[in-house]
Amino acid sequence: MKKALRFSDIPTEKFPLNIAKYDQLSAELYQAIVGFDRIRSASGQSVCKELGTAMYHLDCAWALILSIEDRERREDWGVPID
């Protein structure tokens, strides 16, 4: 079995969700939210709400990625992990 890669060892350009991809997805979701909000209908608001939830989950995933990378770096540096 192959050893698992650590997030912090993967080059940014090869990482499945790097900062550029995160920013692009976030911007596209935001534009879609604004677009559906401008429709000003119950259906548009429903879609807007779901897209807002998707954006929230994207942000949560990004925060998790950053915390994993931070933990890995702290381990490398011998800094105690809380």
pTM: 0.87
Half-sphere exposure of residue 34: CA atoms within 13 angstroms, side-chain side? 6
- Expressed as residue numbers, the domain containing 49 is 21-76
pLDDT at 82 (0 to 100): 66
Residue 2 in domain: no
Percent of the chain whose pLDDT exceeds 70: 98
Would 13 be classed as within a structural domain?
no
Question: What distance in Å separates the CA atoms of residue 46 and residue 48, rounded to the nearest whole number?
Answer: 5
Domain count, the chain: 1
Q: Helix 19-39 vs helix 42-77: angle between axes, to the nearest 10 degrees?
A: 160
In a domain, 48, yes or no: yes
Mean pLDDT of 52-56: 98
CA distance to 2, 12, 18, per residue, from 9 (Å)? 15, 9, 13
**29: in domain:** yes
